[in-house]
Amino acid sequence: MGSLHSRLLLAATLVLAGFIGATGLALDKAFRVSAKASMQDRLQSYIYALLAAADEDDGGRMIPPQEIPEPRFSKPDSGLYAMIAGPDGRPLWHSRSLAGRSISMVQQQSPGQREFRRLTQAGMELYAISFGVAWEDYASSEELYTFAVAEDTAAFEEQIDSFRMSLWSWLGGMAVVLLLAQGLILRWGLRPLRSVESDLQRIEQGTAEHLDGTYPKELTGLTSSLNSLIEHGKLVQTRYRNSLDDLAHSLKTPLAIMQSFCEGKSEQIGQQRALIREQVERMDGIIDHQLQRAAVSGRVTLARSVPLQHVLERLVRTLRKVYREKQVDVRLDLEPGATFYGDEADLTEALGNLLENAYKYCAGQIRVCVRYDRKTASGHGLEITIEDDGQGIDPEMIDTVLQRGKRMDETVPGHGIGLSMAQEIIAVYGGELDIGSSSLGGALLRIHFDT
């Protein structure tokens, strides 16, 4: 049962078997009831034939029939029997087919009444009908008689068995055909899953980069999530590579200083001990910083929601303490309940870098706006804008400032990696970072996530 095809086929087989079985039993019972009713009508018609064949004497009294239209009544042991009984129940007449047999098949009935029953007589199973008749002679005197006809059930049971064999043969054949059709339908219906498996194998073998096939709408969510995971893996790999490059580059200067110290004279040890300690602390800080950069979680399928108001207010409180001498006026314009789906540490890192740049270069005002963009394809994109009233960023310099280690203003302290780090984190979550001009006169940083 490790196969969806096998499970679905087994379930369909059980349902089909139950349906066919119930249908067969219902049809068998309906046919048996119908055949029994037909038997009763046929025996009643024999009663009417006996009445029509009966004659009367000069006084109008009944004379039992001498010639019966049905030949089986005249053939001994034919399986079809007839009898006429008087008011006291004693047989007055019986058909030649009863010769040599003693069968009590008469059940006294009132005139016009009849009774149909099954009975066992002389080792035989019979269906018998008794019908009451009031015969009026010429003197208007009535004589009560009971006409009875019985037929062996052998023919009836043979008819039932024949129908039953035919019924179950046809139903069994239909079940086989339906199961074959169901198997083919299931195989065709599950073909997209096999296509996904084949495309994943191509990705593992390196012959493809994404799931780019045409899939039914029930699988688009799955394939989109898989493509997101594949893209996330590539971005994380790139991020680790960039972080290692940055780490190696950042450690070159401290290592060169320590190497020059090792090559110096021993009397310089006391003078340069503080310098060594400073370089070691710097290297330790660089390693921690690069490890944090490399540990960006990225978008996951079942990420928890992070309230943006909580993160932004905490960052603003921290940066106000760091840049308290600038007395920056920060205005937060947040849509109620705005949330980010991802890792809170990643969001804090990205927004922290962007807000810190705004604090560095602003003249005294910063505006942060958070809105849901309902014009996106998904209908609920998230847009975050950060504006300041500083000098802004020259459009020709936008590509430059987004590169790692590149800075527009060398007079302001920094390493030139804040914007590039924020852009990398945003890209990991499938977002975009745009730089433009703010209505406040400075730079406008717009983050867009298609959530």
Q: Where are the beta strands (DSSP E) in 225-328?
A: 305-307
Residues 322 and 278 in one domain: no
Confidence of residue 154 (pLDDT cuts 50, 70, 90): confident
What residues pair up with 143 in beta bridges, in sequence order? 135
Asked, for residue 373, whether it belongs to a domain, the answer is yes
- Residue 88, both tokens: 């006291």
CB atoms within 10 A of CB 212: 12
Q: Are residues 345 and 273 in the same domain?
A: no
Query: Residue 77 in contact with residue 102, Cβ under 8 Å?
Result: no
Indicate if the pLDDT at residue 413 is higher than 50: no
pLDDT score, position 400:
76
Residue 207 covered by a domain: no
Are 87 and 149 members of one domain? yes
Across 205-222, average pLDDT: 81
pLDDT for the residue numbered 415? 43
Indicate if the pLDDT at residue 267 is higher than 60.
no
> Which H or E run contains 225?
helix 217-262
Sole residue written with tokens 């190696």:
248
Q: Give the residue among 402, 408, 444 at the shortest CA–CA distance from 427.
A: 402
Q: Are residues 285 and 309 in the same domain?
A: no
Long-range pairs for 447-451 at CB < 8 Å and ≥24 separation? 447/350, 447/354, 447/383, 447/384, 447/385, 448/373, 448/381, 448/382, 448/383, 448/384, 449/340, 449/381, 449/382, 449/383, 450/376, 450/377, 450/378, 450/381, 451/341, 451/378, 451/380, 451/381, 451/382
Examine the domain organization and report whether 314 and 273 are in the same domain.
no
Residue 177 placed within a domain: no
The band of 416, judged by pLDDT with boundaries at 50, 70 and 90, is: very low
* DSSP reduced 3-state for 25: helix
Structure tokens of 331? 């205005």
Determine, yes or no, domain membership for 203: no
Domain end, chosen from 243, 260, 294, is at 294
Most confident of 6-20, 294-308, 368-382: 6-20
CA distance 77 to 91: 18
Give the count of beta carbons closer than 10 Å to the beta carbon of residue 16: 15
Residues ≥6 apart with Cβ < 8 Å to 417: 246, 404, 405
Residue where a domain stops, chosen among 261, 294, 327: 294
Q: Look at 35-39, 40-44, 82-86, 258-262 and tell me which has the smallest mean pLDDT.
A: 258-262
One domain for residues 283 and 310: no
Strands 365-373 and 432-437, bridge-based pairing:
unpaired
Q: Is residue 386 part of a domain?
A: yes
Per the CB < 8 A criterion, the answer to whether 74 and 150 are in contact is no
pLDDT at 46: 92
Q: Are residues 148 and 14 in the same domain?
A: yes
**Same domain assignment for residues 154 and 276:** no
Among 220, 243, 224, 222, residue whose Cα is nearest residue 232: 224
Give residue-wise pLDDT tens across range 165-212. Answer: 999 999 999 999 998 998 888 888 888 888 888 888 888 877 888 888
Q: What is the pLDDT of residues 270-322, one digit of tens each?
A: 555 666 666 666 666 666 656 665 555 555 544 568 899 999 999 999 888 88
Residue 135 within a domain: yes
Same domain, yes or no: 314 and 402:
yes
Range of the domain at 8: 4-159
Last residue of a domain, which of 122, 141, 159?
159
Long-range interactions of 98-105: CB distance < 8 A, separation 24+: 100/76, 101/77, 103/150, 105/81, 105/130, 105/148, 105/150
Claim to verify: residue 398 and residue 417 sit in the same structural domain: yes
CATH code for the domain in which residue 338 is found: 3.30.565.10
Q: CB under 8 Å to 339, separation ≥6 — which residues?
A: 305, 306, 307, 308
Please check whether residues 272 and 392 belong to one and the same domain: no
Q: Would you say residue 299 lies in a domain?
A: no
Split at pLDDT 50, 70, 90, the class of 30 is very high
Is residue 204, in this structure, part of any structural domain at all?
Answer: no
Same domain (yes/no): 31, 97: yes
- The structural domain count of the chain equals 3
CA atoms within 13 A on the CB side of 75: 7
